Amino acid sequence: MTIELYTWGTPNGKKVSIMLEEVGLPYTVHPINITKDEQFDPSFLAIAPNNKIPAIVDTDTGLTLMESGAILLYLAEKTGKLLPASGEARWRTYEWLMWQMGGFGPMLGQTHHFHHFNKGKADYAEERFLKETQRLYGVLDKRLGETAYMAGAEYTVADVITWPWAARFAWHGVDLNAFPNVKRWYLELAARPAVKAGYNVPTEAEIPMP
């Protein structure tokens, strides 16, 4: 049994490889070079109808899945790891996972587009998304000042799904020293062997240090 992982070196892609390392499932990597539009290949479309990485095929069940949030929840359920079984802890995990999927990822993605890759081309958009990025880091910093991890006292899939986006803090114009609770959490996770291994997929990459 193995997980076939279709991915590229983006925060969304790294979520899944880190998760696979954390839960200990064997997996085979299929790089999808999005700089060469390989995500539009019909063979990939059959797995991921939205033409975006990451996607997986579980050879144990034949199930195909796209969307990183769905994939991480599936892997957590499949292995019984990084997702509390019941109660408030489970719902807090869902809550903060959805926060990442609805805000921290999409908004920071726009910051990448306007501030990092196209700086100076759209002043209004750049200002808007940089401001929202600071707000979101502030929300995360407040939360991590109250709890050790995003969902509470335990490391969960909510942390796994958020950390790869925080790893692009330099692209966001963010000084992690201004968010000490995020910095504490970021460095703790960066030291985890599974995070280090998963961050190297599909190609070797150095984890940014603040």
pLDDT at 156: 98
Q: 82 vs 109, 159, 199, CA distance in Å?
A: 25, 9, 18
Query: With 90 as the cut, is the pLDDT of residue 1 above it?
Result: no
Residue type at 172?
A: H
Cα(34)–Cα(202) distance, integer angstroms = 12
Query: With 90 as the cut, is the pLDDT of residue 39 above it?
Result: yes
Checking 35-40 for CB contacts under 8 A at 24+ apart, the result is none
Q: What is the pLDDT of residues 44-80, one digit of tens each?
A: 999 999 999 999 999 999 999 999 999 999 999 999 9
- Percent of the chain at pLDDT exceeding 70: 100
**What confidence tier does 153 reach under pLDDT thresholds 50, 70, 90?**
very high
Dig out the tokens for 141 from the structure: 């910093």
Cα(112)–Cα(101) distance, integer angstroms = 16
Assessment of whether the complete model's pTM goes beyond 0.85: yes
Give me the domains of the chain, ranges plus CATH numbers: 3-82 (3.40.30.10), 87-192 (1.20.1050.10)
Q: What is the pLDDT of residues 89-136, one digit of tens each?
A: 999 999 999 999 999 999 999 999 999 999 999 999 999 999 999 999
Q: Enter the DSSP assignment of 208.
A: P
